Amino acid sequence: MLSSNEKEAMLELLHEQVVPAIGCTEPMAVALCVARATELLSAEADATGPRVVPETIELSLSANILKNAMGVGIPGTGGMIGLPIAVAMGAIGGKSCLGLEVLRDCTADVLAAARRYVKEDHIDIRLETSDPDKLFIRAKVSAQGHEAEALIKGAHTNFMDASQATATMGQECSECNELKCLTLRKVYDFATTMPVSDIDFILEAKRLNEAAAEEGLRENYGHQLGKTMCSPLGRGIMGDSIFSKVLSVTSCACDARMAGAMIPVMSNSGSGNQGICATMPVVVFARENHNTDEELIRALTLSHLTAIYIKQSLGCLSALCGCVVASTGSSVGITYLMGGTYEQVSHSVKNMIANLTGMICDGAKPSCALKLTTGVGTAVMSAMLAIQHKYVTSAEGIIDDDVDRSIHNLTSIGSRGMDETDRFVLDIMTSKS
């Protein structure tokens, strides 16, 4: 049975890790850091004057931040991709108080100024080599003889100063201690026993990510994978089944987000795609399966919290594609909607790990919709097997009899075993002409 402290800690974890975000998380986190540094610079230069636009911006970024910011569309730019325009928008019109929605209020005038700013070569972007954290963003800005700096480390919105960057290493809050022993059983018990009124805020994920999917179907974003599956060609091949609807709706939302649509999605663990993947398959299946509102709320809670649990062990950024994590969450949620017990939920996790482990992350980009679709397709199949008590056993590969050990086998491969793969992928991406 869960203690009251564990319940409070998990509830707080959901509130912290399931939040709205606009655009791909990594370039938005960089824009956020630049916006904060620029605000500090403006205060330093003239507390009562207008915003001071930096004359120079020096950025030090970890390799994983660079990898995920190179090829993705930036919201509000009319399809422009990459870090420079995100940095310029953050400096000229970004608002750090908006968090991962930092560019939400940027206007056409801001975009025009940002385009000029990029051409004038004010921005210097470098790979951070001294700090080992996979999520590291340092922005140094200067203007009118003044300088300011902002640092994000460890999480996409986690600001700290240089002294804190080392002083907080190894320290844990009481909430972290409560969550150290988080297990799939505790996640399941929380999602299935908490009062619905305490967790119904998770329906905001449904609202935001459904709107993103509708936007992806309405316009031509990215590779248009979702629209293609909804077209006569797609229907002719895929049919009009629950399965095809789960895939197409999820893909539509991803198409819009990765192409830079100025529309918020509900993220999970700092990733909008993970939020989409943990949400939309569950929402579509619940609608098609005629589940109750309470069942949907509990399934979404189970999906998102499972993804958070796995991601805690994996780390914010890794060589492993985030869809592996989030689609495992959605498989758990779908299994629950099918009437699955904890045992069957565990089976679905093992089936997912046996199939998707090793899918690499080669940066954020429009083709992420393909990977999400692969993950979601596997999620549905894993749930179908699990509900019939069919699952991959410990005699096969990295699966253990204990589901939590299976999860940690997955995350160990993603966080440590694939480190060299991560470096190799980045080398390929940065050496292309």
Domain(s) labelled CATH 1.10.4100.10 in the chain stretch across 182-431
Fold of 182-431: 2-methylcitrate dehydratase PrpD (1.10.4100)
d(CA 43, CA 27): 24
Q: What integer pLDDT is reported at residue 213 of this predicted model?
A: 96
Q: What integer pLDDT is reported at residue 163 of this predicted model?
A: 55
Q: What integer pLDDT is reported at residue 172 of this predicted model?
A: 38
Token pair of 17, please? 């890790």
DSSP track, 255-304: HHHHTT-S-EEE-BTTBHHHHHHHHHHHHHHHHHTT--HHHHHHHHHHHH
DSSP track, 307-370: HHHHHHHH-SS-SB-HHHHHHHHHHHHHHHHTT--HHHHHHHHHHHHHHHTT-B---S-TTHHH
Domain(s) labelled CATH 3.30.1330 in the chain stretch across 20-167
Token pair of 336, please? 């629950």
Q: What integer pLDDT is reported at residue 429 of this predicted model?
A: 86
Stretch (H or E) spanning 151: strand 146-153
Q: Average pLDDT of each block of 10 consecutive residues along the chain (433 residues)? A: 92 94 91 95 78 94 89 87 93 94 93 95 93 93 94 91 49 45 94 98 98 95 93 93 96 92 91 95 98 98 97 86 92 98 98 93 89 95 98 96 96 90 87 72
Q: What integer pLDDT is reported at residue 177 of this predicted model?
A: 46
What b-and-e string marks burial along 202-218, b requiring 16 or more CB atoms within 10 Å of the CB? bbebbebbbebbebbbe
- Cβ count within 10 A of residue 386: 27
Q: What are phi and psi of 235, to 5 degrees?
A: -65, -35
Contact 206, 300 (CB under 8 A): yes
Question: 139, 141, 85: which is closest to 113 by C-alpha?
Answer: 85
Token pair of 80, please? 């422009």
User: 69 vs 4, 73, 125, 165, 330, CA distance in Å?
Assistant: 40, 9, 12, 23, 26
- The CATH code for residues 20-167 is 3.30.1330
Question: 79, 75, 78: which is closest to 32 by C-alpha?
Answer: 75
Q: What integer pLDDT is reported at residue 170 of this predicted model?
A: 35
Question: 273, 270, 315, 319: which is closest to 428 by C-alpha?
Answer: 319
Contact 78, 91 (CB under 8 A): no
DSSP track, 218-268: HS--TT-HHHHHHSHHHHHHH-SSHHHHHHHHHHHHHHHHHTT-S-EEE-B
User: 225 vs 43, 250, 266, 290, CA distance in Å?
Assistant: 46, 10, 20, 26
Token pair of 312, please? 């805690």
